[in-house]
Amino acid sequence: MSDDMLNFLREEGIRESLIREVASFRNANGVSPDLDYRIPRPRFLYYGAEIWEQAITALLCGENLLLVSPKATGKNVLAENLAAAFGRPSWDISFHINTDSSSLIGTDTFENGRVVQRHGPIYECAVHGGFGVLDEINMAKNESIAILHATLDFRRIIDIPGYSKITLSSQTRFIATMNYGYAGTRELNEALASRFMVIRMPTISSANLRKLLKREFPNLREKYMEQFTGLFQDLQKKCENSEISSKSLDLRGLISAIHLMEKGLPAGAALEIGITNKSFDDFERDLVEDVIRLRIPQSPRREEIFTD
């Protein structure tokens, strides 16, 4: 899979010097067979050469990344792709309002009649040289993730009270993701933000969306490739203009809906459950339905959409 990822980067036009450095990093830093299952095998690929080059350069320099954007820009896809390209095991840590240090670093537990530490994902990532994906980092309380300050800065340590102080592996990197404007989110603590290189993820372009759909649905007819791409762009514009919320701007939902059409579900029904029904406001659902109808007929036959 790593070779496939490097070939994909070449197809995207990433500088060959960067690709060689990624290959050298991977070849110089083997992974234990016990952790091979943690190296991602991505189903989806991130398209966008400029963002790829920024992210790869930062990681090669030993930096941590913060990927910032609204919904449907591929933050988690890119994070997974980066771990796959570098050939590193990854740990996914989803932040929420109740996230605390014990859920990140570890907590006490009983084993063979004595108290030992059960290691958390940050600890495991640090020891094994993994890529830690800190998902929705601004969902957690700032005070609960202050423990990460020494982990993410030049000290690169985890000091565990009552146990030991460990130094992060030289291969360890952290990639945080952050949506803004969601309920439950908050401003990221300035001290924490300063420990990341920040990449503002752009909305997916029409050309890159076509690449994604072509890879996922090689038998999708050109006419419908164009219409599905246009549909997503139309929804994106309405969202940017505050005509609809971001609930129905769902790229995963669009891809899933096309898969349902491939299985024989009528296009109208597939798009309804994949996109329209993501909104729970009747007026907004009607607006989304109108956008869909301008692009996609209610019930085209499967053979009209796919070549076989």
Task: Write the pLDDT tens digit of every residue in 99-144.
Answer: 877 778 877 666 666 766 678 889 899 999 999 999 988 887 776 7
What predicted TM-score, i.e. pTM, was given to this entire model? 0.88
CA 21 to chain centre: 23
CA dihedral (48, 49, 52, 58) in degrees, to 10, reads -140
CA dihedral (282, 284, 289, 292) in degrees, to 10, reads -160
Average pLDDT of span 184-209: 87
Per-residue model confidence (pLDDT) at position 285: 94
Average pLDDT of span 184-201: 84
Per-residue model confidence (pLDDT) at position 132: 95
Query: 190 burial class (0-12, 13-18, 19+ CB within 10 angstroms)?
Result: exposed
Give the CATH H-level superfamily of domain 2-200: P-loop containing nucleotide triphosphate hydrolases (3.40.50.300)
Banded pLDDT at 298 (limits 50, 70, 90): confident
What are the beta bridge partners of residue 114? 111
CA 100 to chain centre: 22
Q: What are phi and psi of 164, to 5 degrees?
A: -155, 175
Is the torsion defined by CA of 183, 189, 195, 197 positive or negative?
positive
Higher pLDDT, residue 19 or 148: 19
Per-residue model confidence (pLDDT) at position 222: 95
Average pLDDT of span 19-27: 96
Average pLDDT, the chain: 89
CA distances 185 to 36, 66, 212, 259, Å, are 34, 15, 29, 32
The pLDDT > 90 percentage for the chain reads: 66
Higher pLDDT, residue 72 or 78: 78
Is-contact 257 296, C-beta < 8 A?
no
54, pLDDT greater than 70: yes
Is-contact 100 144, C-beta < 8 A?
yes
Per-residue model confidence (pLDDT) at position 166: 85
38, pLDDT greater than 70: yes
Is the torsion defined by CA of 18, 23, 28, 33 positive or negative?
positive
Banded pLDDT at 86 (limits 50, 70, 90): very high
Per-residue model confidence (pLDDT) at position 98: 81
Per-residue model confidence (pLDDT) at position 184: 56
Banded pLDDT at 232 (limits 50, 70, 90): very high
- Distance between CA atoms of 75 and 135, rounded to whole angstroms? 9
Banded pLDDT at 150 (limits 50, 70, 90): confident
Banded pLDDT at 185 (limits 50, 70, 90): low
Average pLDDT of span 72-79: 91
What are the beta bridge partners of residue 111? 114
67, pLDDT greater than 80: yes
- Per-residue burial over 125-150, b = 16 or more CB atoms within 10 Å of its CB, e = otherwise: bbebbbbbbbbbbbbbeeebbebbeb
Banded pLDDT at 162 (limits 50, 70, 90): low
